[in-house]
Structure 1
Amino acid sequence: MRHQLIDVRKVTKIYKGRIHALRNITFSIKQGEFVYVIGASGAGKSTLLKLLYREEIQTFGSIKIGNTFASQITHKQLYLLRRQLGVVMQSDLFLSNRTVFENIAVCVEAVSGANNSKVAIRTNEALDVVGMLDKSSRKINELSIGQQKRVAIARAIVNHPSIVLADEPTANLDAKAALEIMKLFFKINSMGTTVIMATHDSTMVNTVRERVLELSKGELVRDEQDGGYTRYPDNKDVYIW
Structure 2
Amino acid sequence: MPTELFSNEPVLSLTNADIYQGTKLVLGDVSFAIHKGEFVYLIGRTGSGKSSLLKTIYADLFLPNGQGHVADFALEKLRPKDVPYLRRKIGIVFQDFQLFFDRTVEENLKFVLKATGWSDKTKMKNRITEVLMQVGLSNSHKKMPHQLSGGEQQRVVIARAMLNEPLLLIADEPTGNLDPAVSDQIMHVFQNINNAGTAILMATHNYDLLRKYPARVLRCEEGKVEEYKQ
Structure 2-normalised TM-score?
0.92
Go from structure 1 to structure 2 and tell me whether the alpha carbon gap of 1:7 and 1:120 turns closer, same or farther (over 3 Å shift): same
The alignment partner of 2:186 has SS state of helix
Q: Does 1:49 align with 2:54?
A: yes
Specify the alignment match of 1:6 in structure 2. Answer: 12
- CA offset at residue 14 of structure 1? 2.9
Moved more, 156-165 or 107-116: 107-116
Does 1:67 find its partner at 2:69? Answer: no
> Runs in 1 of length 4+ with deviation above 4 angstroms?
none
Match of 2:4 in 1: none
Q: 1:158 aligns with which of 156, 163, 176?
A: 163
1:68-88 deviation digits (Å, cap 9, x = unpaired): 202322222222211110000
Q: 1:78 to 1:163 in 2, by over 3 A?
A: same
Task: Give the TM-score of the pair, scaled to structure 1.
Answer: 0.88
Task: Give the distance between the partners of 2:169 and 2:136, measured in 1 at CA.
Answer: 18
Q: SS at the partner of 1:83?
A: helix
SS at match of 1:134: coil
Q: Is the 8 A contact 2:71 2:167 kept in 1?
A: no
Question: CA deviation digits over 1:43-90, x for unaligned, max 9?
Answer: 111111111110111232111113320232222222221111000012
CA contact (8 A) 1:35 1:210 kept: yes
Pick the aligned partner of 2:123 from 78, 97, 118.
Answer: 118
Deviates more, 1:185-194 or 1:75-84: 75-84
Aligned 8 A contact 2:71 2:86 in 1: no
Residue 185 of structure 1 pairs with residue 199 of structure 2: no
**1:163-214, Cα deviation, whole Å (9 max, x unpaired):** 1000000001111000000110000000000011001111111222111101
2:214 is the counterpart of 1:209: yes
Distance 1:121 1:217 in 2: 47
Q: How large is the Cα RMSD of the aligned pairs? A: 1.6
Secondary structure of 1:35's counterpart equals strand
CA contact (8 A) 1:54 1:71 kept: no
Query: Which amino acid letter does the alignment assign opposite residue 11 of structure 2?
Result: L
Counterpart CA distance in 2 for 1:223 and 1:25 is 14
Offset at 1:2? 4.0
Who is 1:235 aligned against?
none
- Of 86, 89, 109, which aligns to 2:114? 109
In structure 2, give the amino acid aligned to 1:151: V
Question: 1: CA distance between counterparts of 2:37 and 2:65?
Answer: 27
CA-to-partner distance for each residue in 1:71-111, whole Å, 9 max, x for gaps? 32222222221111000012121111100011011111211
Percent identity between the two aligned chains: 33
Contact 1:36–1:198 (CA<8 Å) still a contact in 2?
yes
Unaligned runs of 5+ in 1: 228-241
User: Which stretches in structure 2 are left out of the alignment for 5+ residues?
Assistant: 1-6
